[in-house]
Structure formats: C-alpha cells, structure tokens
Amino acid sequence: MKRTQIQRARAGEVTPAMERVAERENRDPEFVREQVADGQAVIPNNHAHDSLDPMIIGREFATKVNANIGNSETTSDIEGELRKLHTAVHYGADTVMDLSTGGNLNEIREANVDHAPVPVGTVPIYEAIKHVDDPADLTHELLLDTIEKQAEQGVDYMTIHAGILMEHLPLTDGRKTGIVSRGGSILAQWMEENGMQNPLYAKFDAICEIFAEHDVTFSLGDGLRPGSIADASDEAQFAELDTLGELTRTAWDHSVQVMVEGPGHVPMDQVADNVERQQSVCDGAPFYVLGPLVTDVAPGYDHITSAIGATEAARAGAAMLCYVTPKEHLGLPEEEDVRDGLAAYRIAAHAADVANDHPGARDWDDALSEARYEFDWRRQFDLALDPERAQTYHDQTLPGDNYKEARFCSMCGVEFCSMRIDQDARDADGEMSAIDDETDLRASAAAEVNLPPVGSHDTSGVPEKVEIDGVTFTPEESHADD
C-alpha cells in the first residue's frame, strides 16, 4: 500500500510533492517536511489525482483560498460545472470543493478530478443522501461505500461531519438559527430519528483506514457552526470543536492528514479568539474557515462581509479561507459570482499575508505601486489581482492606446491628477524623474507567490482550454464582457 504524505514525512522523507511545495512557497523542503510530519500543514494529494500540482495548507505558508463549485437540484450539466472549475482556477482558487447535490454526481466529480490542477474536495454525505428517501434511512455501510468510492475517484480531501454528537444537539435549542450546516442538519435528524450516535463518529476508524489507503485529507466539518452573529461562539459550537480536537488526534494516529473547518458567522471581536481556540484544541492542525461573515445585514454583499472576517481570521492564523460569493444565502452562484467571490478572498488572503509579514508578500504591492506612480498602465493591469477587470474599468472612459501612457486617468482628470502634480513638483526640485529602485518580482522571496496575475496561485498547470464532448471552453468565453 502506498504511504501518505504524513507517514513519509514522519519517516524523514522529503517527497516530490514536498519538493514542489517548497519551490512554490520558497521554503526549505526540510521545513515543509517537518510541518507535514507534525500535522501543522497538509498537502492534499490523493494517489489517484494525476493532474494535481501539489500545494500546501498551513499557517506558516501563504494563506490559501477555496472556491465551492457544484450543481443543485435545479441545474445539473457537466459542461457548466467544468466551466465553473475553469473560472475558479483561472481567478486563483487554490482548491475547489465540488458540492454538487443535483444530477450526474459521479460524472461531474470524475470530470473535475480529471481537469483540476488544484486539490478537489467533497462532502460525501451529499451523495449518500441521494440514495435514500429519508435521511434517517442512511446506513453505516452506505456512508462508508460512498466515501470509499469518492476516495478511489481521486478526491483529495473530504468534509466529514464526525464531530456533531447526540449530546450536543440540546445545546442548539436556544439558537436563533439552529443548525445551518447541511451535513450537520442531516446528521442531527438521523441521530434524533434513530436514537443512535453520529454514524461518521461511530465509524471514524474505518474512514481513517480508507483515507490512509488513498491519502485523502480530512476536512473535519463543523456541523454546529453558527449561522448568525447571535449564535457565534456558543456552547454547541465549542462542544463540537472539542470533539474535532479528539478526532484530529485519532486521524493522526492513523497517519492521515487533517484540517479542521470553522465558522461561519462571527462578530469581528470574536474572530481571533475563535482561531486561537481551534489552534489550541486541535494541536495546531490547519484551520479552514468559511468567511466568517462579521454581520448578518448584507445579503447580496456577503462576499464583502465575510472577506472582512476572513482577513481577520487569516491574520490570527487561519490557513485556508473558504470563499463566499455575493449569492450566499440567496441562490446558487454563477460564473461571475465565482469571480467576484474569489477576488474578495484573494484580497483577504493577501492582505493578511502582507500584515503577517509573510516573506516576500508585500513585493507584489510595491511593484504595482511603482507601476501606478510611473503611469505604466499596461504594467499596472498586468500586475492587478484581476487584470481583465482593471483594464476594462480603465478603458471604459479612456480606451485609446495613447492613454496607456497618459499621466492621468478619468478619476481626477488631467488637471487634478495628484500624482502628476507631485511628480512635476519633485522633478522641478530635481528630486527624481523616475523610480530607480524597482521591485523585481522574479527575485522576490515569494517569486511564485507574487508573479502576476496569479497571486499566490500557480495557474501553470491549468489547461488554457477545456474540451468536453467536442466543445472547447476558455476563460474568455466565460467572460465575454471582458
């Protein structure tokens, strides 16, 4: 049987995946090995995921962003899902989770794994539930069979809601929004109707054995995460977290990699405490947070309310941020929502890396600022987090080629352009005519992280085109407005 990354790391071996990660993050391979061996970082890397470019998730590395894709009962076509995958990777997702709950689940999952250069995550209970009429009819065998099949298909990490227990359920009685995790609510119903303990908890050792065989990484789900600011940091959430700490150690005993999922909806003043508590309870296992939203009042803008919380969480040590799109709480995201959500979260991740003084992170900011001050518009677009959008917005008012060297834009206009005025004044004083100490991103300590336009994300492994059933999709087709 092939060994897992953590097994090999503990044995002192630097694997090819660790070498690649070290190269991408500009870190010593031995440091990467130590972090994986100690469970402080994970390299989700199913043995069967051949198209994967390995990446690492841990608080000592660049903050990562996950994009959820997938269909629902109302939309179920493979082509649309692959376009979403392509959009997500194109706009910088470090991992994707296929949360499909509609039709063609197997075909969509296989297509995603085949095409994804980033790790693919799933929530297997979403598929298992499709095989029964009532959630209460789920069996241990069905759950294990589903998990095993998805592991064989090459899924790199799975959300397993094993931490929600029967004894936790009464703790949610006084909540404003009850149990909002889909997996959590299914399991709560199952436990109440069957009068038995959570089957994922009861069968956790068996799940560990499957994960060890395929090197699937646990993403221990927080089925009792708060669904509103009012429910944040309550007894139910922290009781489940204690169980997740216990399960983390069990998985490590089975030589399986683990990360732990976190909330949800948390007011700003509690975000850092939540991260520190998880890091303490789960012995430093990487924390993978959903936002969190820091206020509940902005449906339609929840990519913003949650990116604020995500920045704070990453500042405090969260290793991966699960993006939220503007459609959160309102509907299934479309491709443009995926783009907007990813932009918000890549900003959150990078802002935290800059604030945390992650080696080389600020070089990207410096390079863009220099291009801006020099009125090098083309370079400014190239360096932008979303180059297509930056140029589109600029060109809406000043489309001509001659404006690509103009010493103003339409925001302040030629007369009031403060940077032009400042440069003219400095030139008149003989202080400077150009920035002569430009940041060289290729020489940056985080060269791969900072090379635009991918930010902390390597798109070199992303196919320029995806062909499905004779139809070719490109990012441009997905964004004809650019």
Q: How far is the CB of 355 from ligand SF4 (least distance, A)?
A: 24
Q: Which helix (H) or strand (E) holds 275?
A: helix 268-281
Q: Is 403 helix (H, G, I), strand (E, B) or coil?
A: helix
Task: Assess 415 for contact with ligand SF4 (CB under 6 A).
Answer: no
Q: How far is the CB of 411 from ligand SF4 (least distance, A)?
A: 4
Q: How far is the CB of 254 from ligand SF4 (least distance, A)?
A: 56
* Nearest to ligand SF4 of 252, 408 (CB atom): 408
> Residues of 288-307 as b/e, b for ≥16 C-beta within 10 angstroms?
bbbbbbbbbebeeebbbbbb
DSSP class of residue 40? Answer: S
Residue 365: which of 392, 339, 347, 343 has the closest Cα? Answer: 347
Task: Assess 136 for contact with ligand SF4 (CB under 6 A).
Answer: no
* Nearest to ligand SF4 of 427, 477 (CB atom): 427
* Nearest to ligand SF4 of 1, 411 (CB atom): 411
Instruction: Please state the three-class secondary structure of 143-179 as a single string.
Output: HHHHHHHHHHHCCCEEEECCCCCHHHHHHHCCCCCCC
Task: Assess 425 for contact with ligand SF4 (CB under 6 A).
Answer: no
Q: Which of 1, 297, 411, 428 binds ligand SF4 (CB under 6 A)?
A: 411
* Nearest to ligand SF4 of 14, 419 (CB atom): 419
The answer to whether the peptide bond before residue 163 is cis (omega within 30 degrees of 0) is: no
Task: Assess 471 for contact with ligand SF4 (CB under 6 A).
Answer: no
Q: Which of 56, 316, 347, 417 binds ligand SF4 (CB under 6 A)?
A: 417
* Nearest to ligand SF4 of 417, 446 (CB atom): 417
Here the tokens at position 196 are 């038995």
| Cβ atoms 292, 318 nearer than 8 A | no
Q: Which of 99, 419, 445, 468 binds ligand SF4 (CB under 6 A)?
A: 419
Total residues interacting with ligand SF4, rule: CB under 6 A: 7
The HSE-up count of residue 321 (CA atoms within 13 Å, CB side) is 38
Here the tokens at position 221 are 């789900």
Q: How far is the CB of 438 from ligand SF4 (least distance, A)?
A: 18
| Cβ atoms 119, 45 nearer than 8 A | yes
Site string for ligand SF4, 50-69 (x = CB under 6 A): --------------------
Task: Assess 396 for contact with ligand SF4 (CB under 6 A).
Answer: no
Q: How far is the CB of 417 from ligand SF4 (least distance, A)?
A: 3
Interatomic CA distance for residues 252 and 36, integer angstroms: 11
Beta bridge partners of 121: 97, 157
Stretch that binds ligand SF4, among 115-123, 188-196, 412-420, 467-475 (CB under 6 A): 412-420
* Nearest to ligand SF4 of 5, 380 (CB atom): 380
Interatomic CA distance for residues 293 and 147, integer angstroms: 30
Backbone angles phi, psi at 78, to 5 degrees: -65, -40
Task: Assess 418 for contact with ligand SF4 (CB under 6 A).
Answer: yes
Torsion of CA 475, 319, 337, 410, to 10 degrees: -80
Q: Which of 132, 196, 202, 412 binds ligand SF4 (CB under 6 A)?
A: 412
* Nearest to ligand SF4 of 106, 410 (CB atom): 410
Here the tokens at position 175 are 């909540």
Q: Which residues of this protein are in contact with ligand SF4, per CB under 6 A?
A: 408-409, 411-412, 417-419
